[in-house]
Amino acid sequence: MVFASEVGTELDAANVRSGFRRIAKEAGLVAKDRTSRGLRHGFASLLSDGGLPIEQISRLVGRGGTAVTETIYGTGSTLTVDGATAIDRILPTRIA
């Protein structure tokens, strides 16, 4: 076993989801509307929109190559623009 839960049992998908939702709730987010996959997607979308090279985005999101990342977040992708627009709506425009 590489990772263990807080009680020492094997860390499985349910443990990860539960921990992620707990942290989302503590951050004031509606936990049931958030997923680690969505967070990863938003992160990659913002990087793509910001002009980071696709090779760097691929490495940062844990991909071994660029093919999948290029398909999803390729330059000028509507999905990227839509994702960045959604993030703009979700995140506050000014941090107090």
Identify the pLDDT of residue 10: 83
Rounded Cα distance between 1 and 11, Å, is 8
Q: Tell me, what's the pLDDT at 65?
A: 86
The one-letter amino acid code at 38 reads G
CA 21 centroid distance within chain: 14
Sequence-ordered list of residues with C-beta below 8 angstroms from that of 2, at least 6 positions apart, any chain: 11
Identify the pLDDT of residue 32.
73
Catalogue the long-range contacts made by 6-11 (C-beta closer than 8 Å, 24 or more residues apart).
none
- CA–CA separation, 36 and 38 (whole Å): 5
Residue with tokens 């985005």: 57
pLDDT of residue 89: 73
Q: What is the pLDDT of residue 92?
A: 63
> Could you tell me which residues come within 8 angstroms of residue 3 by beta carbon, excluding any fewer than 6 positions away?
11
Distance CA 60, CA 93 (A): 25
Q: pLDDT per position in the chain (96 positions), as tens?
A: 567 877 888 888 888 888 888 888 888 888 777 777 888 888 888 888 788 888 888 888 888 888 888 887 765 455 555 666 677 777 766 554
Q: Is the pTM of this model over 0.85?
A: no
Chain-centre distance for alpha carbon 39:
2
